[in-house]
């Protein structure tokens, strides 16, 4: 099998792989990066596209869809449009404002610019499809990482994925916009899900499918030795769960990891497969920690949650390393699962309303039963106002708890909280085991007490 290093034609000069850590503009760390792509055994053409543009601190992967090579066109247009938008003077000014005055408002402006860039790419693909009948119906997934200061700004649409590998956990940062993922988040919690890799798990949101595209945006802290993976479904759909992804992400250099991921996917892969791996190296710019991690207020709110209350600060920070901050608009439903994995949330800011009318604010723990593999009975809560939450996937929580001292502290607090809920409700602690076939087996493997 030959692994091609495909370039976007208009970006050929920019897509050079790094052999030594590079300095990226407006980013506080050196970074090393690598990419691999493969056509797959059942495809005649590679409709994936990627961009590695260290001079703008931009990395992206797209997976085109559509006949007559139209998918290849859509992916290329998406990459070109996003790179053009994020390398514009207005984009650079937005990032520079964030770098010089990091905070919630300047962060939101960068995320808003990133979202608009993806929306503009969607509009360009729609126009191109109207102009050429052979390209009618073309579309593409898109995942973008934009690095600034000591953070990653991420945009996502479709069934590609972005992962973050940290010392203690590998976090899946995005969730798939597919039929199977949407069914698993049905409000009644009883929809039957299908395998992520099955033909029926079609993409429900991507660029080019309609005039409006749903763009998920995320913001994560980065530190030395963290690794980011952007990949198409031809990679993650062929691997044996997150354990294998975690192992391969950490293989050798970033280029070695990208090649290992694609080569493993190609063993049984029929689809195009592309992986971009970015490793965060040493910090060379020191700044005040104005927007580093949680603000003091957010950290205080998080530590008021039943999961972290009275937990020593170092242990609390370790537990929070498995969390991803998200922001939801007023009226948004808070999903119980992400990518077929149960999730819990800690409210940082805003107000969340439960179906029974109860409203909870900062410090509240939403879906605590998810962390022990239990599917709650109640319907999903909604954001009663714009709200920021920390999202913790059950798999990531389990990985943190693989160390006994963390497990003992976190599971004890979780058990006490669920017992209190059971006493208040006069029944089960918020849920019952997930119906057979609705979710994968619980990831919880509770460590044995010492001496057992």
446 belongs to a structural domain: no
Q: Are residues 273 and 367 in the same domain?
A: no
Of the candidates 233, 248, 283, which is a domain's last residue?
283
CA distance 51 to 244: 25
Q: Is 142 helix (H, G, I), strand (E, B) or coil?
A: strand
Mean pLDDT of the region 191-217: 69
Q: Are residues 252 and 305 in the same domain?
A: no
Q: Are residues 19 and 103 in the same domain?
A: yes
Q: Are residues 147 and 23 in the same domain?
A: yes
- HEC profile of 50-119: EEEEHHHCEEEEEEEECCCCHHHHHHHHHHHHHHHHHCCHHHHHHHHHHHHCCCHHHHHHHHHHHHHHHH
Mean pLDDT of the region 30-36: 95
Tell me how many domains the chain contains.
2
- Residue in 329, 53, 76 with CA at minimum distance from that of residue 216: 329
CB contact at 8 A, 137 and 69: no
We report the CATH number of the domain holding residue 220 as 3.60.40.10
390 belongs to a structural domain: yes
440 belongs to a structural domain: no
Contacts (Cβ under 8 Å, ≥6 apart) of 288 = none
Is pLDDT at 106 greater than 60 in this prediction? yes
pLDDT band at 252 (very low <50, low <70, confident <90, very high): very high
Q: Are residues 182 and 315 in the same domain?
A: no
CA-based end-to-end distance of the chain: 49
150 belongs to a structural domain: yes
Comparing 9-13, 237-241, 263-267, which segment has the lowest mean pLDDT? Answer: 9-13
CA distance 192 to 243: 25
43 belongs to a structural domain: yes
Q: Are residues 189 and 243 in the same domain?
A: yes
Which string of b and e fits 226-241 if b means at least 16 CB within 10 Å? bbbbbbbbbbbbbbee
Q: Are residues 143 and 232 in the same domain?
A: yes
Is pLDDT at 104 greater than 70 in this prediction? yes
CA distance 383 to 352: 5
CA distance 82 to 143: 10
Q: Are residues 219 and 338 in the same domain?
A: no
CB contact at 8 A, 201 and 177: no
105 belongs to a structural domain: yes
134 belongs to a structural domain: yes
Full domain range(s) for residue 341? 296-433
Phi-psi group of 144: left, alpha or beta (phi > 0 → left; psi -120 to 50 → alpha; rest → beta): beta
Per-residue pLDDT tens digits for 391-449: 998 888 888 888 887 899 999 999 999 998 888 876 544 443 444 444 444 333 444 33
Q: Are residues 395 and 420 in the same domain?
A: yes
3 belongs to a structural domain: no
Q: Sign of dihedral through CA atoms 363, 215, 259, 1?
A: positive
In degrees, to the nearest 5, what angle opens at C-alpha 353 toward C-alphas 348 and 355?
Answer: 145
We report the CATH number of the domain holding residue 383 as 2.60.120.10
Of the candidates 226, 260, 283, which is a domain's last residue?
283
Q: Are residues 54 and 136 in the same domain?
A: yes
Q: Are residues 261 and 113 in the same domain?
A: yes
Q: Are residues 309 and 412 in the same domain?
A: yes
């Amino acid at each position: 099998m030959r692994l091609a290093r495909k370039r976007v034609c208009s970006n050929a000069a920019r897509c050079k792989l790094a052999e030594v850590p590079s300095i990226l503009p407006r980013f506080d760390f050196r970074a090393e990066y690598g990419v691999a792509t493969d056509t797959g055994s059942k495809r005649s053409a590679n409709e994936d596209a990627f961009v590695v543009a260290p001079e703008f601190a931009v990395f992206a992967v797209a997976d085109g869809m559509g006949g007559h090579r139209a998918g290849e066109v859509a992916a290329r247009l998406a990459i070109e449009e996003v790179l053009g938008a994020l390398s514009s003077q207005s984009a650079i000014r937005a990032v520079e404002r964030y770098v010089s005055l990091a905070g919630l408002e300047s962060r939101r402006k960068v995320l808003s610019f990133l979202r608009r860039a993806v929306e503009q790419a969607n509009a360009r693909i729609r126009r191109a499809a109207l102009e050429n009948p052979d390209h009618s119906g073309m579309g593409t997934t898109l995942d973008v990482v934009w690095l600034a200061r000591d953070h990653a700004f991420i945009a996502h649409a479709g069934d590609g994925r972005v992962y973050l590998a940290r010392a203690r956990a590998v976090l899946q940062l995005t969730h798939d916009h597919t039929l199977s993922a949407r069914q698993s988040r049905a409000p009644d919690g009883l929809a039957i899900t299908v395998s992520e890799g099955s033909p029926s798990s079609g993409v429900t949101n991507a660029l080019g499918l309609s005039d409006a595209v749903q763009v998920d945006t995320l913001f994560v802290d980065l530190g030395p030795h963290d690794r980011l993976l952007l990949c198409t479904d031809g990679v993650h759909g062929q691997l044996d769960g997150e354990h294998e992804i975690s192992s391969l992400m950490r293989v050798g250099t970033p280029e070695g990891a990208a090649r290992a991921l694609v080569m493993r996917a190609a063993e049984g892969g029929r689809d195009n497969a592309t992986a971009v791996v970015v490793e965060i190296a040493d910090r060379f710019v020191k700044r005040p920690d104005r927007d580093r991690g949680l603000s003091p207020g957010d950290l205080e709110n998080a530590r008021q949650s039943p999961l972290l209350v009275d937990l020593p600060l170092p242990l609390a920070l370790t537990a929070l390393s498995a969390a991803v901050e998200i922001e939801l608009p007023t009226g948004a439903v808070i999903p119980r699962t992400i990518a077929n994995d149960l999730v819990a949330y800690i409210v940082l800011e805003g107000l969340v309303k439960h179906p029974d009318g109860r409203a909870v604010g900062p410090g509240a723990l939403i879906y605590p039963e998810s962390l022990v593999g239990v599917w709650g009975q109640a319907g999903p809560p909604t954001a009663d106002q714009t709200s920021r939450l920390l999202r913790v996937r059950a798999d990531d929580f389990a990985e943190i708890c693989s160390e006994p001292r963390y497990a003992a502290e976190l599971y004890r607090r979780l058990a006490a909280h669920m017992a209190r809920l059971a006493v208040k409700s006069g029944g089960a602690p918020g849920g019952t085991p997930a119906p057979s076939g609705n979710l994968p087996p619980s990831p919880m493997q509770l460590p044995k007490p010492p001496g057992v």
